[in-house]
């Protein structure tokens, strides 16, 4: 490996599974000390064990990013323990499913408390820590934030909000060397998408909608996030990068 994050301290939310876990593993391979955050301790510990077995450095912190005080304390604590704070990946998300007519106010708000509020709280805390030396913040949106998705209005609205919040944060952080960018996945094979990929027919129907003909893997996103976190992206901020096999680039595909 090229050790693109050697000596850096990075915190990844939603790091117990899926995109977050793949990102934590990839960061550790490139030399970062990785702080993995999530609500459930067991999957976090499993990823930490995998990183350490490969010779990397990592620790797990159980925290719900929708808890402002707890999440802010986790970021500040990571900086205090390791003496610096270089990279934040706001990956944790939550969603509700249902028609607009049947969506309760509580369900609507549940889409925002993790995805939007958590991203705001994390970014605010990270920017304070990064102000002297700079750093990189990568926020994870979704194709649902670009294209209307029936029965996922709250999730779609929250993921759209992340995009423009990130642009505003990029504008504010630029003079301090703080870069803020967004990656936009479509269908990625994670526990959250297990239902839509539950059998061969469902998978093939999904793959027909993707120009590259395959469902994304967590590692596809992790590699893009790594690039945006590294010095190779030192002149990139405020960017919104689709990592979706071409899904957002087309209206329809030939079946």
Decide if 232 is inside a domain.
Answer: yes
CA distance 171 to 165: 10
Compute how many other C-beta atoms are within 10 angstroms of the C-beta atom of residue 47. 24
The count of domains in the chain is 1
Decide if 249 is inside a domain.
Answer: no
Segments forming the whole domain that contains residue 122: 9-238
Rounded to the nearest integer, the mean pLDDT of the chain is: 93
Render pLDDT for 156-206 as a digit per residue (tens, 0 to 9).
999 999 999 999 999 999 999 999 999 999 989 877 765 666 677 767 877
Decide if 98 is inside a domain.
Answer: yes
Decide if 247 is inside a domain.
Answer: no
This prediction's pTM:
0.94
β-bridge mates for residue 160, sequence order: none
β-bridge mates for residue 242, sequence order: 184
The pLDDT of 104-117, averaged and rounded, is: 95
Decide if 3 is inside a domain.
Answer: no
- 46 vs 193: which has the higher pLDDT: 46
In this structure, are residues 136 and 228 in contact, taking their beta carbons and an 8 Å threshold?
yes
User: What is the per-residue pLDDT for 200?
Assistant: 77
- Dihedral sign from CA coordinates of 16, 22, 24, 28: positive
User: What is the per-residue pLDDT for 110?
Assistant: 93
Q: Is 132 left (phi over 0), alpha (psi -120 to 50) or beta?
A: alpha
In this structure, are residues 44 and 93 in contact, taking their beta carbons and an 8 Å threshold?
no
CA distances from 56 to 32, 34, 38, 90, 93 (A): 8, 9, 19, 21, 26
CA distance 246 to 209: 9
CA distance 133 to 12: 19
From the number of C-beta atoms within 10 Å of its C-beta (0-12, 13-18, 19+), residue 69 rates as exposed
In this structure, are residues 141 and 164 in contact, taking their beta carbons and an 8 Å threshold?
no
Decide if 245 is inside a domain.
Answer: no
Reported as a pLDDT band with limits 50, 70 and 90, residue 253 is low
User: What is the per-residue pLDDT for 187?
Assistant: 86
User: What is the per-residue pLDDT for 251?
Assistant: 77
Please give the DSSP secondary-structure letter assigned to residue 87: E
Q: Of 94-108, 123-137, 183-197, 199-213, which has the strongest mean pLDDT? A: 123-137
From the number of C-beta atoms within 10 Å of its C-beta (0-12, 13-18, 19+), residue 249 rates as exposed
- Full strand arrangement of the beta sheet holding 9-12: 57-62, 33-38, 9-12, 87-90, 135-140, 178-185, 240-243
**Residue ranges in the chain assigned as alpha helix (H):** 18-29, 41-53, 68-82, 105-112, 118-130, 153-173, 200-207, 218-229
Is the pLDDT score of 76 beyond 60? yes
CA distances from 98 to 76, 137, 185 (A): 37, 31, 21
Decide if 138 is inside a domain.
Answer: yes
Question: CATH no. for residue 169?
Answer: 3.40.50.720
Active-site annotation, residues: 155
Buried b (16+ CB within 10 A) or exposed e, 175-213: eeebbbbbbbbbbbbbeebeeebeeeeebeebbebbeee
Decide if 251 is inside a domain.
Answer: no
Reported as a pLDDT band with limits 50, 70 and 90, residue 234 is very high
């Amino acid at each position: 490996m090229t050790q693109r994050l050697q000596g850096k301290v990075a915190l990844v939310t939603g790091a117990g599974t899926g995109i977050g876990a793949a990102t934590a593993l990839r960061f550790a391979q490139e030399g970062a000390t990785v702080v993995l955050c999530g609500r459930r301790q067991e999957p976090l510990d499993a990823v930490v064990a995998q990183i350490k077995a490969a010779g990397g450095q990592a620790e797990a912190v159980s925290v719900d990013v929708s808890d402002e005080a707890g999440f802010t304390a986790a970021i500040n604590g990571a900086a205090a323990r390791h003496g610096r704070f270089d990279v934040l990946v706001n990956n944790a998300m939550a969603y509700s499913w249902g028609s607009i007519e049947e969506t309760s106010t509580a369900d609507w708000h549940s889409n925002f408390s993790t995805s939007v509020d958590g991203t705001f709280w994390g970014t605010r805390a990270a920017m304070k820590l990064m102000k002297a030396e700079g750093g990189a913040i990568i926020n994870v949106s979704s194709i649902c934030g670009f294209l209307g998705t029936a029965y996922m209005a709250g999730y779609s609205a929250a993921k759209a909000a992340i995009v423009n919040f990130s642009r505003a944060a990029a504008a504010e952080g630029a003079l301090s060397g703080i870069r803020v960018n967004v990656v936009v996945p479509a269908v990625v094979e994670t526990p959250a998408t297990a239902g839509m990929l539950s059998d061969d027919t469902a998978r093939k129907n999904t793959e027909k909608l993707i120009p590259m003909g395959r469902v994304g893997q967590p590692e596809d996103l992790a590699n893009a996030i790594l690039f945006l976190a590294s010095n190779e992206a030192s002149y990139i901020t405020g960017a919104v990068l689709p990592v979706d096999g071409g899904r957002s680039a087309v209206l329809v595909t030939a079946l």
